[in-house]
Chains A and B, each alone.
Chain A
Amino acid sequence: MCDQTFLAITFGPCDSCSENRPLMNLYIKTEPINYCSLCMEIMACQGLASGETLKSLKAESETLRKKLEEERKKLHDVELEKVAEKAEALGELNMKTRRTLKGHGNKVLCMDWCKDKRRIVSSSQDGKVIVWDAFTTNKEHAVTMPTTWVMACAYAPSGCAIACGGLDNKCSVYPLSLDKDENLAAKKKSVAMHTNYLSGCTFTNSDMQILTSSGDGTSALWDVESGQLLQSFHGHSADVLTLDLAPSETGNTFVSGGSDKKANVWDLRSGQNVQSFDTHDSDINCVKYYPSGDAFASASDDSTCRLFDLRADREVSIYSKDSIMFGAASVDFSLSGRLLFAGYNDYTINVWDVLKGTRVAILFGHENRVSSLRVSPDGTAFCSGSWDNTLRNKFLFTMTAYPGQRWANCAPPFGTPNHGQM
């Protein structure tokens, strides 16, 4: 009755020193290698020039890091809180669940919106991937994957296909056909192949290319048509758990976050790691770009969310509170970038004021971890998926205090009992 674990700690003869030790399983260029931890360290030292020892390398990287910190500090002349003092304070936010999508038999792990602002694709632990029309709460398509723990799913920009993957180490693309008699599973196309579980996937600006991140520590760009690997990105020293594409003009970068507590920014064309941020204290579960593309937010198991600025090359804000003790699993910005919605493992969603760094609201309603959270493409609502098998859409009655602005109606919505905050 136990969940699948796939890190089998094997004990046996090491490939290189042939002693019986606990082995670490590593894949190098898809070749499995079983080394004991000692030999692993030795292997990591390969590439040492003469005269260098592991100690000297360690010392050198430490000094470089310190120098980097100093450089970054030099240009840091003001804190975000100070700059944000000029901003208007946000009034109380009142959000209610408007739609609850039930139908998954098991934990919902991931979800994505379609560009038409009302359709959603969601994937769950039991291998089901469902496409909903969230507005009417109808299920439109359902696919059963031959694997459990489908941790990543994405909607194609055209709305004609979905991509998903998980423990099967692959990303598969399913074209959505409207013929109800057609078996969607038959038209599946396997696009990506990794050597460990798939943690995230997204289409780049068209249906033809997919960016994936995997538990094997790499991210990769694939061509859908041929299944070919176009570019791979190495640099994380542990599982890559999340990625997000930049909305910038040149559209050439993406950011990824991993179990090694680092968030790396990559160039799609060259495969280079352009920038790196490592101020988190634990695994980074989710990264999302600020709408202008100049910054990104990250959610981590250390129960904080942080905002990193790309041009200043540093962390500019931390969103945390003493009473929040559980890790954050997912974040997303509202359309204007003023609000940051974050879903946590303590079943709540906290809404933060990005500029002032304060918490604006806390939303209850899920009965288990909130595993994924996305704002709709036009910003009218956001949807949260949780391990309690449901997806909830939440929308807003604002009572903002902006001068000159009309007050939104505070009357209760049609047909729903008024529980106060849900």
Chain B
Amino acid sequence: MERVIVAMQDPDMGVKMRNQRLLITVIPHAMTGNDVIEWLIQKYNITEEEARHLGGLLVQYGYIYPLRDPRSLLLRSDDSPYRFQTPYFWTSSRWPASELDYAIYLAKKNIRKQGELVDYEKENYSILHKRINHTWDFVVMQAREQLRASKQRRKADRIVLECQEQAYWLINKPCPGAFDVLDLGPERCNVLSSRVALIEHSRRALGRNRVKSSICLESFMKYSEQYLHHDPIMSGCLPSNPWISDDTAHWTINTDMVGTPTRLRVERWSFSFMELLNDSMGRREFMIYLEKEFSAENLCFWVACEDLRHGESSKIILKVEEVYKNFLAPGAARWVNIDSKTMERTLEGIKRPHRFIMDDAQMHIYFLMKKDSYPRYLKSELYKNMLAKAIVPQETKKSVFPFMRRQRHSSPSPAMVTQATEDDGKAKGAGPTGTSSTTNSQI
């Protein structure tokens, strides 16, 4: 931030500073709020709203202080005069605001005009009085001296110094409940690491294969283009964005097990194999297709391996046994076709089962499906029928009466849904519908 301030004070390019009038005294080297904003707009090529925001932050952090209404740290975009805070008082210098200084400041205020201290200041004053009672005489004496010295200055200087100090203390000891710009969150400490590890790492990194930038960047372009119509923020969503129209239709027609999927959804399955598998309906469709081709065991194997990888630790041994029994044992009911090397390795590993033991086999089957069955599925009648059947929802017309708000209904919590399915004992649960549910739980 200091860069900005220094630039602003530059005599040629900086903000226009003139002598401003504050009531009857003339203050040199001051500027109006308006000037600040205009300068910011010009220099950084931003909108007025942003400039106002930025200027406001400069004031809040104490780099500029107001002369007219020193208690409120706001940037007003009009004629109210402002000045730059001296670097001595900048927040970034970070030397802690000592209690002694604060005590002197409060004492000065007290002496100058009785009762000028605001509530929280009065509290702080009495707390300090108790705490540093031993040096209280010193404090009062300092305060008196400073006041006397300031009386001998010109009125303009006096006002400036007063405002400076006030702004500084407003920031460093803010009113309770007001916002504290110095609040930074928990400390972050540093941990040392060994250089040897760094060197190892750099060596390994040197040996890695890299891809040309042009190829990588092209892929970003392609990805963005491909998904453009699927991105609700970029292209809107049909029938309407639920957050804007309060209508949950968009979510209802896209639930997991809806009867007819939307066209966008079905199209997405053709983007990549992962998309197809991630969508439960897509997975189901693919399974149907594979059954026709008599290669459904591949998908079943993949699903079982995923379950093993992400499931409970306690059940790993059990699951590995099952997978072996169903898919890998010679003569198994759903024997999967993996190459002999992988098979050997996997069978060896089963003797010491752990979570990732099936990874090689799973990878092999995954790529098999991806290269072989997946492209054929996309060309199959099954997929084409799905695409044809898929609906393109109508965009809902905006209501004529703009103030007629739809009821926002709550939907069943996912926790409740899974409980229901467990009770039923069925694999496929009833999808959550967006219609009104019983409880409107408020806490």
Asked if A146 CB lies within 8 Å of chain B CBs, one says no
Asked if A197 CB lies within 8 Å of chain B CBs, one says yes
Encoded as 1 (CB less than 8 Å from any A CB) or 0, chain B from 1 to 39 comes to 101100000000000000000000000000000000000
Asked if A269 and B359 make an inter-chain contact with CB atoms under 8 angstroms apart, the answer reads: yes
Chain B residues, CB < 8 A from A206: 310-311
* Chain A contact surface mostly: loop
Instruction: Name the one of A25, A116, A412, A414 contacting B414, with C-beta atoms under 8 angstroms.
Output: A116
Q: In the complex, which range does the number of interface residues on chain B fall in?
A: 35 or more
Asked if A178 CB lies within 8 Å of chain B CBs, one says yes
Instruction: Name the one of A135, A178, A380 contacting B413, with C-beta atoms under 8 angstroms.
Output: A178
Chain A residues, CB < 8 A from B406: 414
Asked if B153 CB lies within 8 Å of chain A CBs, one says no
Chain A residues, CB < 8 A from B188: 215, 238-239, 241, 259, 283
Asked if B220 and A398 make an inter-chain contact with CB atoms under 8 angstroms apart, the answer reads: no
Instruction: Give the shortest distance, in Å, between B399 (CB) and chain A (any CB).
Output: 7
Chain A residues, CB < 8 A from B98: none
Chain A residues, CB < 8 A from B441: 138-140, 180
Could you tell me the distance between the alpha carbons of A354 and B311 in the complex, rounded to whole angstroms?
36
Asked if B189 and A7 make an inter-chain contact with CB atoms under 8 angstroms apart, the answer reads: yes
Chain A residues, CB < 8 A from B185: 3, 149
Asked if A379 and B221 make an inter-chain contact with CB atoms under 8 angstroms apart, the answer reads: no
Encoded as 1 (CB less than 8 Å from any A CB) or 0, chain B from 209 to 231 comes to 01111111111110111111011
Known contacts A118-B251, A226-B314, A395-B243: does B443 contact A141 (CB below 8 Å)? yes
Chain B residues, CB < 8 A from A29: none
Instruction: Give the shortest distance, in Å, between A149 (CB) and chain B (any CB).
Output: 6
**Chain A residue nearest in CB terms to B50:** A362
Chain A residues, CB < 8 A from B43: 322
Encoded as 1 (CB less than 8 Å from any B CB) or 0, chain A from 299 to 330 comes to 00000000001011110100001110110000
Could you tell me the distance between the alpha carbons of A269 and B362 in the complex, rounded to whole angstroms?
15
> Which residues of chain B from 235 to 288 have a CB within 8 Å of any chain A CB?
235-237, 241-246, 248, 250-251, 254, 273-274
> Which residues of chain A from 111 to 145 have a CB within 8 Å of any chain B CB?
114-119, 133, 135-136, 138-142
Chain A residues, CB < 8 A from B195: 44-45, 54, 57-58, 61
Instruction: Give the shortest distance, in Å, between B3 (CB) and chain A (any CB).
Output: 8
Asked if A10 CB lies within 8 Å of chain B CBs, one says no
Instruction: Give the shortest distance, in Å, between A335 (CB) and chain B (any CB).
Output: 4
Instruction: Give the shortest distance, in Å, between B254 (CB) and chain A (any CB).
Output: 7
Asked if B310 and A380 make an inter-chain contact with CB atoms under 8 angstroms apart, the answer reads: no
Asked if B385 CB lies within 8 Å of chain A CBs, one says no
Asked if A405 CB lies within 8 Å of chain B CBs, one says yes
Instruction: Name the one of A209, A226, A292 contacting B219, with C-beta atoms under 8 angstroms.
Output: A292
Could you tell me the distance between the alpha carbons of A250 and B363 in the complex, rounded to whole angstroms?
8
Looking at the complex, which of A15-23, A66-74, A186-194 is the stretch in contact with chain B?
A66-74
Asked if B398 CB lies within 8 Å of chain A CBs, one says yes
Instruction: Give the shortest distance, in Å, between B331 (CB) and chain A (any CB).
Output: 30
**Chain A residue nearest in CB terms to B226:** A336
Asked if A197 and B206 make an inter-chain contact with CB atoms under 8 angstroms apart, the answer reads: no
Asked if B183 CB lies within 8 Å of chain A CBs, one says yes
Instruction: Name the one of A78, A175, A402, A411 contacting B213, with C-beta atoms under 8 angstroms.
Output: A78
Encoded as 1 (CB less than 8 Å from any B CB) or 0, chain A from 330 to 374 comes to 000011111100000011100000110000001010011000000
Instruction: Name the one of A83, A98, A294 contacting B243, with C-beta atoms under 8 angstroms.
Output: A98
Asked if A405 and B235 make an inter-chain contact with CB atoms under 8 angstroms apart, the answer reads: yes
> Which residues of chain A from 182 to 224 have a CB within 8 Å of any chain B CB?
196-197, 204-206, 208-209, 215-217, 223
Could you tell me the distance between the alpha carbons of A115 and B441 in the complex, rounded to whole angstroms?
20
Could you tell me the distance between the alpha carbons of A47 and B200 in the complex, rounded to whole angstroms?
12
Could you tell me the distance between the alpha carbons of A1 and B419 in the complex, rounded to whole angstroms?
45
Asked if B242 and A159 make an inter-chain contact with CB atoms under 8 angstroms apart, the answer reads: no
A interface residues, how many (CB within 8 angstroms): 148
Instruction: Name the one of B49, B230, B231, B409 contacting A421, with C-beta atoms under 8 angstroms.
Output: B49
> Which residues of chain A from 27 to 53 have a CB within 8 Å of any chain B CB?
40, 43-48
Asked if B403 and A346 make an inter-chain contact with CB atoms under 8 angstroms apart, the answer reads: no
Asked if B380 CB lies within 8 Å of chain A CBs, one says no
Asked if A116 and B310 make an inter-chain contact with CB atoms under 8 angstroms apart, the answer reads: no
Instruction: Name the one of A118, A159, A398 contacting B415, with C-beta atoms under 8 angstroms.
Output: A159
Interface core residue of B40, B212, B273 (most chain A CB under 10 Å): B212
Could you tell me the distance between the alpha carbons of A294 and B363 in the complex, rounded to whole angstroms?
19
Asked if A98 and B211 make an inter-chain contact with CB atoms under 8 angstroms apart, the answer reads: no
**Chain B residue nearest in CB terms to A375:** B233
Chain B residues, CB < 8 A from A77: 212-214
Asked if B46 CB lies within 8 Å of chain A CBs, one says yes
Asked if B202 CB lies within 8 Å of chain A CBs, one says yes
Asked if A138 and B187 make an inter-chain contact with CB atoms under 8 angstroms apart, the answer reads: no
Instruction: Name the one of A133, A235, A402 contacting B201, with C-beta atoms under 8 angstroms.
Output: A235
Instruction: Name the one of B210, B226, B231, B408 contacting A312, with C-beta atoms under 8 angstroms.
Output: B210
Instruction: Name the one of B189, B227, B244 contacting A98, with C-beta atoms under 8 angstroms.
Output: B244
Asked if B394 CB lies within 8 Å of chain A CBs, one says no
Could you tell me the distance between the alpha carbons of A167 and B185 in the complex, rounded to whole angstroms?
11
Contacts A133-B413, A160-B418, A237-B190 known; 17 new A-B pairs at CB < 8 A: A3-B186, A6-B186, A61-B199, A76-B212, A80-B220, A87-B221, A237-B192, A249-B274, A249-B366, A312-B212, A325-B1, A348-B53, A378-B232, A379-B233, A380-B237, A380-B241, A398-B233
Q: Which 10 A-B pairs have the closest CB atoms?
A: A159-B414, A206-B310, A237-B193, A336-B227, A336-B231, A323-B44, A64-B202, A311-B211, A335-B231, A395-B243
Q: Can you list 21 pairs linking A and B with CB atoms under 8 Å apart?
A: A44-B192, A61-B202, A83-B221, A116-B432, A151-B186, A159-B417, A160-B415, A208-B311, A215-B186, A215-B189, A217-B193, A225-B312, A235-B201, A239-B188, A241-B188, A309-B216, A336-B223, A348-B50, A381-B241, A393-B243, A415-B403
Q: A residues engaging B (CB < 8 A)?
A: 1, 3-7, 25-26, 40, 43-48, 54, 57-58, 60-61, 64-65, 67-68, 71-72, 75-80, 83-84, 86-87, 90, 98-99, 114-119, 133, 135-136, 138-142, 149, 151, 158-160, 167, 175-178, 180, 196-197, 204-206, 208-209, 215-217, 223, 225-226, 228, 230, 235-239, 241, 249-250, 259-260, 269, 273, 275-276, 283, 290-292, 294-295, 309, 311-314, 316, 321-323, 325-326, 334-339, 346-348, 354-355, 362, 364, 367-368, 375, 378-382, 387, 393, 395-398, 400, 402, 405, 408-409, 411-415, 421
